[in-house]
Structure 1
């Protein structure tokens, strides 16, 4: 699925959080169930760890009764915050 939307994230994001942010899961319970059931892949590999940290460019696919859906982890669209001295 190459036409997956790119979802900008700031900093680290866990798989379960990303599923909710990208709209691939309605809530945390659904995200947990999809992951535990092996219905989620990261870059084509099944991953059953809800706490897996994603990286920019990762392709996350969900195979649910509603059909396959996907989203790609993207870099934040916001400029970096200035460092405090």
Structure 2
């Protein structure tokens, strides 16, 4: 499994799931990120996530297609 780290910069407390997929380079746009989430390919902390704009906070783990793991960290 490929592992990616995403650092959430202040003052942001969270990033929307579809935007996270775009920001780490899994897709080219937020719309494409929404399509990936809608397809049922994304879990957050081991639970299937279908809310396209759910808030992802530091400490959470997002997995896409059981192939890519994204770990979200607070900056600093």
TM-score range, shorter chain: 0.7 to 0.9
Give the TM-score taking structure 2 as reference length.
Answer: 0.81
Q: Of the candidates 32, 35, 39, which is equivalent to residue 37 of structure 1?
A: 39
Partner of 1:55: 57
**Greater Rg, structure 1 or structure 2?**
1
What displacement does 1:24 show? 2.2
Unmatched 5+ residue regions in structure 1? 78-85
Alignment of 1:1-85 (within 5 A): 4-10=3-9, 11=12, 12-63=14-65, 68-77=67-76
Cα RMSD, aligned residues only: 1.8
Number of residue pairs aligned between Structure 1 and Structure 2: 73
- Is the Cα contact below 8 Å between 1:61 and 1:70 reproduced in 2? yes
Unaligned runs of 5+ residues in structure 2 are none
> What is the CA-CA distance between 1:17 and the residue it aligns to?
0.9
